[in-house]
Structure 1
């Protein structure tokens, strides 16, 4: 049947249902013995009532709803439409009551109130019932086409909530998935013994080994979209004894339109073990900053830079300037964004942030109003071997972009910083701390709002520990960890990028925002988790070796320093730390002296020069703490001296 014919047939059914409801209302009201007088009134009013009701249904878009996929939202809409039409009939009935004596004809269309109420109930039941029958019929057809009993991979599902219900529905109707549900497990004891869309809830998660054996399960599927990392880790630990493969549905923030899609079912990844609550963004503030404006991103081909570009495109900038010195990385992100956002002007700009002339020409030509500076050298050991390059890129590259932003009246500048800038023990960390100091100092004399955002490691970024571990596991090991007690903060790339953009909208100028990274994770635990997720056993199939800390590495990272006043913001995952600002003139002189070290190959010489700007920069954590305490004492003495001087001058 064609679409037009189907629509016409559905309209006819609705009209018949509305007419039948009105006729039945008279029969019910008069106990199936309708007086002759009211029978006449019924047939006189019938066409008018049907027309009024159908027009109101049309006004509420009810005829456009799919009968096959009717749900609660559509049912509520139908009731609202019928209630409005009944209110119109009630109003007309009250008018006829008042005018019946003056206009004799009106009395011939007067009906009892009970008929209007009964008509509303019957019309609602018939209109919804027709659609419910169509939906049930469609589901029965799909169920007959689903995987026959005994075929498909026997799947035991963990989580009998809303996501589990959606999964069960899809498994019942989609043969191509090749899965056969054998039962649910859920830690809500009240659900045990019940059925979710025909699938029994067999027990709690702790019973997974026994129940999997009893029902012949061949795989486990975690159907809890809102599960955090700790919950997923606990489930994985319980499933380990089953020796079965474990799959998972996407987390809540990856689900489009609230609908779980089994086509996105996948193996459990390390990101799932570190899941946190999805980021809630203030989209209004972001749209004000991005929509219709020119945005420039440095390091656009990197892990964070490329994700920032993806997030920004969702807010429809006028144009997006992609600055990247690695042509292959720039080519990939530019090609991706062209495919996903063809309506946005994208400018791929090969260039180095240390090339002032090249960067100035970009600012002059494109005049960005929002700059995100993600370009940086980030590898700690590499920067220990090449300290001058850390200064050139992380310090003076930042200085170039920040000064150009000031000169060209950019509204907002955001520096992507790192937790390694806190009490740094590496050249990389110290160079990022100097970059923070510079944007703070420049902010005090500029109309541009300069802010920095500081966070820890991101999962899966280029050259990070996760890809290295995966490569080592694929070779059969060993997996190398520097120290058994080494810990790091981790965050997914999308979450970090979203929080960076959110923090940017909060800045008034001069702030260093600190992202809540959650709980620190032991690197050895991360390595063992990756081995298990690969279907292997740590220590047996793949060995874990400890190699000792590398130059500049800390055993743990810090996200704030003692002399910061870390305050909460309105976003629960973003804090702001306000540090004393180094005077711009003093810092400029120090940077002039530091610039002579960019070509130095001697690490100790570079360290000494950096320490003049960052006193807390030290060889190890203990030395860093001592330097920090010394700095606090100097600051305290300066405060006392400053507070005493005015009194001496007055005396």
Structure 2
């Protein structure tokens, strides 16, 4: 039988047609026998022409209707319509032949009985063959799966799975009592409480969650219930993400952290999200980065008159420009795209771009963000994050830009690292510029938007954990108590665009990130939902080990979004406005001049002291980690704490 499965499609079609060639005449003889209560040689002689003609008329009709093109293992109820139509046409043709050729009277009842018998034979033979072949094929490397959700999406998914050779749906799971114990598309529906028995009985390897209309919170409740089963879980995307409304095998994906967070993104306010973009000339710095590129995708859907991309990475700029051009073609827009290679430190270049193309809105996403890398390269972090922001902000004011939005971070709140302190420094610069401009009608409106970790960004912990799990472990975790806020990139970008429209000048906006997530719990859940177990004293049979490697330079256990308690709501439920301490421009300008001199002279101790003086909440977690400085002073790990300046 396994060798039969390996036959070509043509050979299988020939076998099916040959079976019909033999069994359709037998079926016609059965109809004669049922009508006349027997089968004599006289009756065979009388109906002989029709008995012989039956397969030669039916088979061409079946071929024309595509009956033999259907893959037997994956047929469904729709084939019954084809069978009924094909048999009906063949019986009508046989009746016509009988009318023109009969030498003796034919019984009309024979044709009626043959019509019913042929339909039963053709349909039943296909479904019986399907059941047997599915059982046999289940032995040959096909993964037995249970589908959670017996509705339309689940049924579509079962049909799609049967059309391939990777998965074999063996059971439906549904929480609706009225569906339980029913059989849909040949698959029985069970209660979720039956899953442990089903997994053992059918050797279920994966559970596919086929309920795309569920909210994230509802989906999270189901995942919480499935996690203890230690079976690999996959999910389907939301129904609005399915292009044609039908579920396909390629729509199934791994469980992502957003599925575990259980938060549904708030629909954007159309007026807010378009206020600074529609029919305007918009510029995005750091356009090739994780946040910058998503901002560009969402901006272009709001139909700006022009979108200017500024990026240091040649490949990053090329990739986003190509993607946006393709996106434009797909949605039928014709927006002027201008990709510029360059750095935000080039003040004159930035100003010339803004003036030449009448830029009205700037989204400043260019920054170095990886905490340990900036800790080891503090001068470059300061140049890009602090002086880069200073440069592009000056260019914006000189060019009459109306709105300037800085992408900030939760690491700017009571920072323990250079990266966080540079982002808070950048916030202070924009706050000071807002006050310097006063209430001039031509002033640039500066605002800042803080949020935590975005899922899927470069360096994100989730893809790292998944890669480590696929490799068999171990998962590397810096500390068992470390927690982080998480948000999806599209949601963060949407909120940035909306917050930018609400800025009055010097505003620090904070996004509601939900509840913080304990990273070790996240790692364990990812292991369990991959069908594996964590190796520990309590579970010695586990296969994935979690190793704690210690906090990295500058890293802190808990992130915060607010420095003080002075915060107020806005017209958007997920955006708050924080009132933070400011430094007057006269003082800040002097500190910037000293910081620039210290960076030029590679005076790391002075740099640390100036950061501490400017960002009052900065509390370094480690000593100076710059590679050059450490090599020069031959600082050992034990000595590093002695050079922390407070």
Smaller-chain TM-score bracket:
0.5 to 0.7
Residues 168 and 199 of structure 1 are in contact (CA less than 8 Å); yes or no, is this contact kept in structure 2?
Answer: no
- TM-score, reference length from structure 1: 0.67
Bigger mean CA offset, 480-489 vs 233-242: 233-242
Of 424, 437, 442, which residue of structure 1 is paired with 2:428?
437
Alignment equivalent of 1:387, drawn from 378, 381, 386: 378
CA offset at residue 172 of structure 1?
Answer: 4.5
Identify the residue that residue 173 of structure 2 maps to in structure 1.
185
Distance verdict in 2 for CA 1:438–1:544, change over 3 Å: same
C-alpha offsets along residues 265-324 of structure 1, whole Å, 9 cap, x if unaligned? 223233432352033011233234212211111111111111111111111222211111
The SS at the match of 1:301 is coil
1:583 aligns with 584
Q: Residue 425 of structure 1 corresponds to which residue in structure 2?
A: 416
Give unpaired runs (5+ residues) of structure 1.
1-135, 622-651
Report the counterpart of residue 483 of structure 1 in structure 2. 479
Matched, 1:457 2:447: no
Q: 1:265 aligns with which of 229, 233, 252?
A: 252
1:567-606 aligned within 5 A: 567-599=568-600, 601=602, 603-606=604-607
C-alpha spacing 1:158/1:251, structure 2 compared with 1 (3 Å): same
Q: Within 5 Å, give how 1:460-539 maps onto structure 2.
A: 460-539=456-535
Give the 5 Å matches for 1:234-245.
235-236=222-223, 238-239=225-226, 244-245=231-232
For residues 263 and 506 of structure 1, do their structure 2 counterparts lie closer, same or farther at Cα, with a shift above 3 Å needed? same
Write the deviation string for residues 369-394 of structure 1: whole angstroms up to 9, x where unpaired: 11100000111112222221121111
Shift of 1:207: 3.0
Which structure exhibits the higher relative contact order, with contacts defined as CA atoms closer than 8 Å and separated by 6 or more residues? 2
With over 3 angstroms needed to count, the CA separation of the structure-2 counterparts of 1:440 and 1:214, relative to structure 1, is: same
Note if 1:376 corresponds to 2:367: yes
2:591 match: secondary structure: helix
Provide the residue aligned with 2:196 in structure 1: 209
Write the distance in 2 (CA, Å) between the matches of 1:142 and 1:437.
75
> What SS does the aligned partner of 2:450 have?
strand
- Residue 507 of structure 1 deviates from its aligned partner by 1.8
Give the alignment partner of residue 223 of structure 1, picking from 193, 198, 210: 210
Q: Which residue of 1 aligns with 2:50?
A: none
In 1, Cα distance between equivalents of 2:244 and 2:316: 31
Contact 1:227–1:251, Cα closer than 8 Å, also in 2:
yes
Moved more, 288-297 or 246-255: 246-255
Structure-1 separation of matches of 2:296 and 2:399:
22
Change (3 A) 1:174 1:467: closer
Question: Deviation of residue 501 (structure 1)?
Answer: 1.2
Q: Check whether the contact 1:169–1:197 (CA below 8 A) recurs between aligned residues.
A: no
The equivalent residue for 2:397 is: 406
Report the CA distance between 1:399 and its aligned residue.
1.0
Give 1:531 deviation, angstroms: 3.6
Query: 2:374 touches 2:380 (CA, 8 Å); kept in 1?
Result: yes
SS at match of 2:534: coil
Q: How does 1:526-565 map to 2 (within 5 A)?
A: 526-539=522-535, 540-562=542-564, 564-565=565-566
CA 1:474 to 1:248, structure 2 compared with 1: closer, same or farther past 3 Å? closer
1:174 to 1:214, Cα distance in 2 relative to 1, 3 A: closer
Higher alpha-carbon deviation: 143-152 or 544-553: 143-152
Is contact 1:427–1:552 with CA below 8 Å preserved after alignment?
Answer: yes
Once the two structures are TM-superposed, the CA of residue 227 in structure 1 deviates from its matched residue by 4.6
TM (norm. structure 2) is: 0.68
The answer as to whether partners of 2:153 and 2:210 remain within 8 angstroms in 1 is: no
Quote the residue 1:338 is aligned against.
325
SS of alignment partner, residue 308 of structure 1: helix
**In structure 2, the residue corresponding to 1:371 is in which secondary structure?**
strand
Go from structure 1 to structure 2 and tell me whether the alpha carbon gap of 1:550 and 1:170 turns closer, same or farther (over 3 Å shift): closer
Partner of 1:640: none
Q: Describe the SS at the equivalent of 2:163.
A: helix
Following the alignment from structure 1 to structure 2, what is the Cα–Cα distance between the partners of residues 319 and 293?
7
SS in 1 for 2:348: helix
Secondary structure class of the residue paired with 2:307: strand
The corresponding residue for 1:72 is none
Q: Distance in 2 between matches of 1:297 and 1:598?
A: 27
Q: Which residue of 1 aligns with 2:291?
A: 304
Structural RMSD (CA): 3.2
Q: CA deviation at 1:566?
A: 1.4
CA distance, structure 2, for counterparts of residue 448 and residue 439 of structure 1: 10
**1:274 corresponds to 2:261:** yes
Q: Structure 1 residues 537 and 603, CA, compared in 2 at 3 Å: closer, same or farther?
A: farther
C-alpha contact (below 8 Å) 1:611/1:617 kept by paired residues: yes
Please point out which of 346, 352, 371 is paired with 2:343: 352
Give the Cα–Cα distance (whole angstroms) in 2 for the partners of residues 206 and 190 of structure 1.
Answer: 15
* Secondary structure of the corresponding residue to residue 320 of structure 1: strand
Q: Distance in 2 between the 1:142 and 1:169 partners?
A: 22
Pair 1:615 & 2:603 matched? no
Residue 262 of structure 1, CA deviation: 4.9
User: 600-609 vs 583-592, which deviates more?
Assistant: 600-609
Separation in 2, partners of 1:618, 1:271: 32
User: Within 2, Cα distance between the matches of 1:214 and 1:474?
Assistant: 26
From the superposition, tell whether residues 174 and 400 of structure 1 become closer, same or farther in structure 2 (CA, over 3 Å).
same
1:344 and 1:542 map into 2 onto residues whose CA distance is 49
What is the 5 A alignment of 1:622-637? none
Contact 1:209 1:241 (C-alpha < 8 Å) held by counterparts: no
Displacement of 1:612 in angstroms is 1.6
Cα distance change, pair 464–243 in 1 and its aligned pair in 2 (3 A): closer
Secondary structure of the 2:547 match is strand
Number of residues paired by the alignment?
481
The question of whether the paired residues in 2 share the 8 Å contact of 1:388 and 1:600 is answered with no
